[in-house]
């Protein structure tokens, strides 16, 4: 149990034993091969491909760089339809590639892009659909694929929250033309900082290989206007260590989620994210929606009660991307009322592999009673 007065954050990075990491990086000192797609980088790509059940994995320095380079590699033009209920990175990657984001509202149960509202947003300028798997909750894969196919659009998924998720036994990174993952330190699986693109398109993997290394395709040959998105060997080493323990880490998270559900299921005004049939989730986040008109307290009041007890949840994702200052005046969040309503009510509770059962009990007592 957390010591009294000790802060409980919304997440805490999983890490291997220090000796395990030291053993993993020892040969880096011996070889002096620190970056530029070294042996650990190559090994991690291979091991991730096996774990995720995908043909091709391309590692990057961050999930954001993975998405920026992917959009560039696909040569997208015009408009990309995405969701405002996401981390700002998703939209920044679109805009920084000179494209126009178009926001589709979300489904009220999965919090992911609503296919019923998607098709009417497609125009002759649309080049791609970029849905986001949120909190480990998965988009309607079949309908997204159907819409993208009928309109001849690229379908790329932001799977930053979905590492290790499987749908009917199939790895989530194998859907669509490509998916991106974030391996940031706060994620279920991390490489300190890092990310990846998964795809079955080997020509796309080859182009990404060049783009993340300044467009270099061989000695003296630079065929693309690329950048620097390479993952270094120390990041890859952390990934190799963490991958050995990932199933155990997710099992620890699962136990905390079950404990939360035990306390909070069926409480009027506290809405939990529904479990999805056929989906093996990763227990990445535990969001609750607080409906003040039913529960009697607002999301912000619940948050304040927790913070006064040194427990720090997060309002992921509030405000919506379309309401952020950098996009002020360019979008109207009233056009996505479901996403706006979720953003006004959502609170992600602490969840990580080292969270104790007693801490979950305490968090739930404060939510339900307003105090310990």
Mean pLDDT by 10 residues, the chain (372 residues): 72 98 97 96 98 98 98 98 98 98 98 98 98 98 98 98 98 98 97 98 97 94 96 98 98 98 98 97 98 98 97 97 97 97 98 97 96 74
Judge if 147 and 289 occupy the same domain.
no
Residue pointed to by tokens 């009233």: 334
Count of domains for the chain? 2
Global pTM reads: 0.96
Judge if 210 and 257 occupy the same domain.
no
First-to-last C-alpha distance (Å) of the chain? 15
Domain that holds residue 156: 18-105+112-241
Judge if 52 and 37 occupy the same domain.
yes
Of 221, 241, 261, the last residue of a domain is 241
Judge if 265 and 361 occupy the same domain.
yes
Judge if 34 and 157 occupy the same domain.
yes
Judge if 161 and 214 occupy the same domain.
yes
Judge if 230 and 320 occupy the same domain.
no
**311 close to 8: Cβ distance less than 8 angstroms:** yes
Judge if 45 and 153 occupy the same domain.
yes
Residue 196: cis peptide before it, omega within 30 degrees of 0? no
All residues at 6 or more sequence positions from 228 whose CB lies less than 8 Å from its CB, including other chains: 61, 212, 213, 214
Select from 137, 77, 149, 89 the least CA-distant residue to 113. 137
Residue 7 lies inside a defined structural domain of this protein: no
The predicted structure's pLDDT at residue 7 = 95
Residue 2 lies inside a defined structural domain of this protein: no
Residue 236 lies inside a defined structural domain of this protein: yes
Name the DSSP letter for residue 252: H
The predicted structure's pLDDT at residue 166 = 98
Cα separations in angstroms, 126 against 56, 122, 130, 291, 335: 26, 6, 11, 36, 18
Judge if 85 and 147 occupy the same domain.
yes
CATH code: domain of residue 327: 3.90.1150.10
Residue 293 lies inside a defined structural domain of this protein: yes
The predicted structure's pLDDT at residue 372 = 74
The count of other CB atoms within 10 Å of the CB of residue 269 is: 15
CATH code: domain of residue 171: 3.40.640.10
Ramachandran category for residue 34: left, alpha or beta (phi over 0 → left; psi -120 to 50 → alpha)? alpha
Judge if 338 and 309 occupy the same domain.
yes
Residue 8 lies inside a defined structural domain of this protein: no
All residues at 6 or more sequence positions from 23 whose CB lies less than 8 Å from its CB, including other chains: none
- Please state the φ and ψ torsions of residue 231, each to the nearest 5 degrees: -85, 135
The predicted structure's pLDDT at residue 233 = 98
Of 241, 267, 284, the last residue of a domain is 241
Across the chain, where does the E strand assignment appear? 8-9, 56-60, 79-82, 100-103, 126-129, 154-158, 166-167, 170-171, 178-182, 195-199, 216-218, 221-222, 270-272, 279-280, 286-290, 311-312, 346-349
Residue 171 lies inside a defined structural domain of this protein: yes
The predicted structure's pLDDT at residue 1 = 42
Residue 319: cis peptide before it, omega within 30 degrees of 0? yes
Of 212, 241, 270, the last residue of a domain is 241
Residue 277 lies inside a defined structural domain of this protein: yes
Residue 97 lies inside a defined structural domain of this protein: yes
Judge if 256 and 129 occupy the same domain.
no
The predicted structure's pLDDT at residue 4 = 52
| C-alpha–C-alpha distance, residues 282 and 305, integer Å | 28
Structure token pair of residue 314: 């997060």
Judge if 74 and 209 occupy the same domain.
yes
């Amino acid at each position: 149990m957390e010591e009294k007065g000790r802060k409980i954050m919304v997440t805490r990075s999983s890490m291997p034993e220090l000796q395990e990491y030291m053993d993993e990086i020892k040969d880096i000192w011996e070889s002096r091969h620190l970056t530029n797609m070294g042996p650990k980088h190559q090994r991690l790509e291979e091991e991730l491909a096996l774990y995720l059940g995908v043909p091709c994995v391309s590692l990057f320095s961050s999930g954001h760089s993975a998405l920026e380079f992917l959009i560039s590699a696909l040569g997208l033009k015009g408009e990309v339809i995405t969701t405002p209920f996401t981390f700002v990175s998703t939209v920044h990657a679109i805009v920084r590639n000179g494209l126009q984001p178009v926001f589709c509202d979300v489904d009220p149960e999965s919090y992911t892009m609503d296919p019923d509202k998607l098709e009417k947003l497609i125009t002759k300028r649309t080049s791609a659909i970029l849905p986001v798997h949120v909190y480990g909750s998965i988009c309607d894969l079949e309908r997204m694929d159907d819409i993208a196919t009928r309109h001849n659009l690229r379908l790329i998924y932001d799977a930053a929250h979905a590492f290790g998720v499987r749908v009917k036994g199939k790895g989530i990174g194998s859907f669509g033309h490509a998916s991106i993952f974030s391996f940031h330190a706060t994620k279920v699986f991390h490489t300190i900082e890092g990310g990846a693109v998964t795809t079955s398109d080997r020509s796309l993997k080859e182009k990404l290989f060049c783009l993340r290394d300044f467009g270099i395709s061989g000695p003296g040959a630079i065929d693309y206007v690329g950048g620097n998105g390479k993952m270094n060997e120390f990041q890859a080493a952390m990934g190799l260590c963490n991958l050995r323990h990932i199933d155990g880490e997710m099992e620890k998270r699962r136990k905390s989620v079950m404990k939360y559900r035990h306390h909070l299921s069926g409480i009027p005004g506290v809405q939990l994210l529904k479990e999805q049939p056929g989906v093996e989730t990763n227990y990445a986040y535990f969001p609750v929606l607080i409906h003040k008109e039913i529960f009697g307290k607002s999301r912000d009041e619940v948050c304040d009660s927790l913070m006064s007890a040194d427990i720090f949840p997060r309002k992921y994702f509030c405000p919506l991307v379309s309401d952020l200052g950098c996009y002020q005046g360019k979008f109207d969040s009233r056009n996505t009322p479901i996403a706006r309503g979720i953003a006004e009510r959502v609170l992600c509770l602490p969840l990580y592999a080292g969270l104790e059962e007693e801490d979950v009990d305490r968090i739930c007592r404060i939510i339900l009673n307003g105090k310990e």
